[in-house]
Amino acid sequence: MRILVAMSGGVDSSVVAALLHEQGHEVIGATLQLYDHGAAIQKKGACCAGQDIHDARRVADHLGIAHYVLDREERFRRAVIQDFADTYARGETPIPCIRCNQTVKFQDLLELAEDMGCEAMATGHYAQARPGPELHMAADPARDQSYFLAHTTRAQLARTLFPLGGMASKAEVRAHAARLGVAVAEKPDSQDICFVPSGSYADVVQKFRPEALAPGEIVDGQGRVLGEHRGIARYTVGQGRGIGVAAAERLYVHSVDAGRRRVVVGPRPATEAIMVGELNWLVTPARGEFRADIKLRAREAPHPASLWLEGDVLHVRPDTPAVAAPGQACVVYEQGRVLGAGFIRGRPRVDSEAPAAYLPPSAVV
């Protein structure tokens, strides 16, 4: 086949290109330039800028394949970085890797693949695409990235390959890199958020939504003022460090009230019922109540829950109360297969039509 490979300059996507080339496919490499070279060139473990573009081109030259660099800085700024700042300004916690996959990476690169007559696109993500099409967790649960891919559409998934998804470990990937002479075989993995070269999210938010860094009150559940914060963008639900308030017991962020610039804190939070919106279903959801596994954070194992779809809102009741930060994703699984996903919006309304089992006495609007 003729296959477009999304090459970030890291070892994973480089191995994908090398393996597909070894298998006899016509491979075309494409690298997205997503943010300023100068801001990222000093940061180790970034992607899609500076040294990483050079590394991708070097791998392509070694393989003897065509390689293209696409300038998507403005699109990335609007679709991902601006959304990152806007989400913090709403008092929520953004997840920019999903927004990037939804827009620039899958939408734009699949359009390019079609324009270039490619039959498929391949990436270095750790997940498994199976006929159906279906999205499954990677063979190595420690490397699994299905959480970040659950918002791809069925049409996108049908044209995407994840050659690393069935590999047992990262060590196996690096062994392939060494065997195939890939120059970046020992390159460190990307870390943190690629467009935050200084390591400070606040610097990015300051540029786009400075009001999210205005000071305000830290209060307890009864509204009593405990202290002052340095901007709601510095807080996320479930956070237990850096609160800035001295207390006899450890305090955690329970909610962020953007309208009043308040951060509400208390004992370790645990949500019994969750509302999920902006839904993307890869498998038609069951009618009425159904059981499935969920992930509310990328680095946790799937855990059981009861679910109920009410219009365009999914109600989720974890078997064990969990931390659910608005803005983060809720991904629904069935025996490792992704059924669908959405973004956490909060707790159900007291007048919701969902079964009473989903509405604990503490449920509020």
- By the 10 Å C-beta count (0-12 exposed, 13-18 middle, 19+ buried), 283 is classed as middle
Question: How confident is the model over 27-47, as a mean pLDDT?
Answer: 68
Angle at CA of residue 19, ends 175 and 103, nearest 5°: 110
8 A C-beta contact, residue 259 and residue 134: no
Contact assessment for residue 233 and residue 90, using Cβ atoms and an 8 Å cutoff? no
Query: Mind telling me the catalytic residues?
Result: 100, 194
Question: In this predicted model, what pLDDT tens digit does every residue of 62-117 receive, in sequence order?
Answer: 999 999 999 999 999 999 999 999 999 999 999 999 999 999 999 999 999 999 99
Domains of the chain: 2-179 (3.40.50.620), 212-266 (2.30.30.280), 274-358 (2.40.30.10)
List strand residue ranges (DSSP E) for the chain, in order. Answer: 2-6, 26-33, 66-71, 120-122, 127-130, 134-137, 160-161, 216-219, 225-229, 252-257, 262-266, 274-281, 289-295, 303-310, 313-318, 329-334, 337-346
User: What is the per-residue pLDDT for 354?
Assistant: 46
Q: What pLDDT, on the 0 to 100 scale, is given for residue 261? A: 95
Q: Which is nearest to 352 in space by CA: 300, 307, 306, 315?
A: 315
Q: pLDDT tens for residues 171-201?
A: 999 999 999 999 887 787 776 678 876 667 8
- Picking from 116, 118, 129, the residue whose alpha carbon sits closest to that of residue 163 is 129
Return the pLDDT at 352.
45
Helix (H, G, I), strand (E, B) or coil at 326: coil
